[in-house]
A = this chain, B = another copy of it.
Amino acid sequence: MRYVTIKDIADALEISKSTVSRALAGDVSNVSPATIDRVRSKAREMGYQRNMTAVNLRTKATKVIGIIVPEITTPFSMSFVSTVQDAMQPLGYRVLIAVSSEDPKRERQNLDMFETGRVDGILVSATHNLANRDRFENLVKSNFPIVFFDRTIKDLQCSSVCSNDSLMSFFLVEHLIYTGRRRIVNLTGPTYIENSLARSQSYREALEKFHIPYDSRLVVSSGLSVEDGAMAVERLINDGIDFDAIYCFTETQALGAKRTLQERNISIPDEVAICTMSGTQLSSFVFPQITAVEQNVAEMARIAVRLLLEKIEVPNSPQQNIVLHSTLVARGSTSADDA
């Protein structure tokens, strides 16, 4: 088992390696058309296959970029990934995906894997605000092309693109209030997720605007999984806490909340409304009864790609933090809409 090399072709044609290399690369201005033809057909004849490991070593580029996502269960990630692929394929890039499963250790391994594989750039949605901060800081300091999307790292001087969490969640809670809700549960994300804080902040501000008293029992810290969301709501019910709406940090939590309510035969949204920020339009099929504000994922992906390419092409381009003022389209309906 031995591959044909450009040297083999060069020897067979009694020309130099460099000419073969040029011919194969289609360097029209430096190789005669006749030679190009001879080389090309010889290569085909001999079954030549370019050795990418050698090319990558030599050119110091792989034309591969990596995406690291915390999870792959919501449509958000899938949608983001496929938009990135559509955008980068025409530019000659391949896209590799790695899932961290909400685990900073895994995230670190994924970063390692992409670095040892010498990907040309990384798009990452972070699992944790602190855990891998040092790692990310080093990456940025060494000028490695990396762009954060959706879930960022607090105060890190690195390009990023995300939604305007504060504003959007403010409008969501406001929407609940407009539609007659008063006892609104806030399923917050873990404090180690940067977005979590902003969204909870907005919850308080919306309440204040409408002079609704803040009840700490309604603010529940919950994990990110469907199970976590389900359990949190179950605990509220068991504790006999009265509520007429749930504002969730993530889609997965919303899914869990919905499950618990259905198990308890609590009608949605007549008795309790659920709302969250949603990854994609697709989600409306998954969560028909859940009011959601759509993030523009495709837009986010395209911006992320643009920022990354800029970094790859211009090694010292400035860091940019883009905040998406997405169209605020509240979908679904709460019974109070009709009132």
Residue numbers of A with Cβ under 8 A of B are: 1-3, 47, 49-54, 56-57, 62, 112, 115-118, 138, 142-145, 315
A57 lies within 8 A of B49 (CB): no
Q: Which of B3, B49, B62, B112 contacts A53 (CB 8 A)?
A: B62
**If A1-B144, A315-B1 touch, does A53 touch B51 (CB 8 Å cutoff)?**
no
Query: Whole-angstrom distance from the CB of A67 to the nearest CB of chain B?
Result: 16
* Cβ contacts A to B, 10 pairs, < 8 Å: A1-B143, A1-B144, A2-B142, A47-B142, A49-B112, A49-B115, A51-B57, A52-B116, A53-B62, A54-B57
Residues of B within 8 A of A53 (CB): 53, 56-57, 62, 117-118
Neighbouring B residues of A62 by C-beta, 8 Å:
53
A311 to chain B, nearest CB (A): 9
A76 vs B51: C-alpha distance when bound (angstroms): 32
- Distance from A142 Cβ to chain B, minimum over Cβ atoms (Å): 6
Bound-state Cα–Cα, A57 to B62, Å? 14
For A118, list chain B residues within 8 Å (CB).
3, 51-53
Residues of B within 8 A of A116 (CB): 49-52
Q: How far, in angstroms, from A142 to B8 measured CA to CA in the complex? A: 15
Q: Please measure, in the bound complex, the distance between the C-alpha atom of A2 and the C-alpha atom of B117, giving whole angstroms.
A: 14
Residues of B within 8 A of A3 (CB): 115, 118
Tally of this chain's copies: 2
**Alpha-carbon distance A51/B116, docked complex (angstroms):** 5
Complex Cα distance A54/B324, Å? 40
CA distance A73 to B118 in the complex (A): 32
Which 6 A-B residue pairs are closest in the complex by CB-CB distance?
A: A53-B56, A49-B115, A1-B143, A53-B57, A52-B116, A50-B116
Specify which chain B residues have a CB less than 8 angstroms from the CB of A112 in the assembled complex: 49
Residue in chain B with minimal CB distance to A4: B142
Instruction: Check A145 against B54 for contact (C-beta < 8 Å).
Output: no
A1 to B118, CA, bound (A): 12
**Beyond A47-B142, A53-B62, 5 extra complex contacts between A and B, CB < 8 Å:** A1-B142, A51-B116, A52-B117, A53-B117, A57-B57
Most chain B CB atoms below 10 A, which of A53, A62, A142: A53
Q: Which residue of B lies closest to A139 (CB)?
A: B47
CA distance A115 to B53 in the complex (A): 11
A111 CB to closest chain B CB, in angstroms?
A: 9
Provide the residues of chain B in CB contact with A142, threshold 8 Å.
1-2, 47
* A135 nearest CB neighbor, chain B only: B47
Q: How far is the CA of A315 from the CA of B1 in the complex (A)?
A: 7
Q: Within the assembled complex, what's the spacing in Å between the Cα atoms of A249 and B57?
A: 47
Give which listed residue, B50, B51, B138, contacts A47 with CB less than 8 A: B138
Docked pose: A144 CA to B53 CA in angstroms: 18
Q: Please measure, in the bound complex, the distance between the C-alpha atom of A2 and the C-alpha atom of B315, giving whole angstroms.
A: 11
User: How many angstroms between the C-alpha atoms of A3 and B57 in the bound complex?
Assistant: 12
In the assembled complex, the CB of A25 is this many whole angstroms from the nearest CB of chain B, namely: 14
Q: In the bound complex, how far is the Cα of B115 from the Cα of A143, in angstroms?
A: 32
Contacts of A144 in B (CB 8 A): 1
Contacts of A52 in B (CB 8 A): 116-118
Bound Cα distance from A49 to B115, whole angstroms: 7
